[in-house]
Copies of this chain bind each other. A is one copy, B any other.
Amino acid sequence: MLKLLIPIALMLTNAVSQAGGEFRHIVMFKFKDSATPAQIAAVEKAFGELPAKIDTITDYEWGTSESVEGKNDGLTHCFFVTFKDKAGLETYIPHPAHVAFKEILIPILDKALVFDYTAKD
């Protein structure tokens, strides 16, 4: 019975900690007009491979702009990356997999906006 209860207790603890306190790293891109659909798809794919390569990433999602109010300043892509804490992001930035990703990104990047925050309810 105890063997069953311990993992359940750990799951509940984890669920509570996820209600706030995660470190969010929001990354938005506008690509150059010269960027091809294949180049953009390569960036989307390469970003999506980072969570498997960098273990401080605890959650990941992304999407493309479906602006309702037209206030997205030309940015077309948003990647929403979560770390347990700011130290997780500080490990990620210089990580070889992230550096290699940037080599795919930079040649087609017009501009990027990055916003980091600790999630509060």
Contact = CB atoms under 8 A, between A and B. Distances in A.
A67 B20 contact: no
B68 A86 contact: yes
Contacts of A65: 115-117
Nearest to A86: B66
A64 interface: yes
Nearest to A48: B121
Contacts of A100: none
Nearest to A51: B121
A110 B117 CA distance: 20
Contacts of A73: 113
Contact of A118 (B26, B60, B63, B114): B63
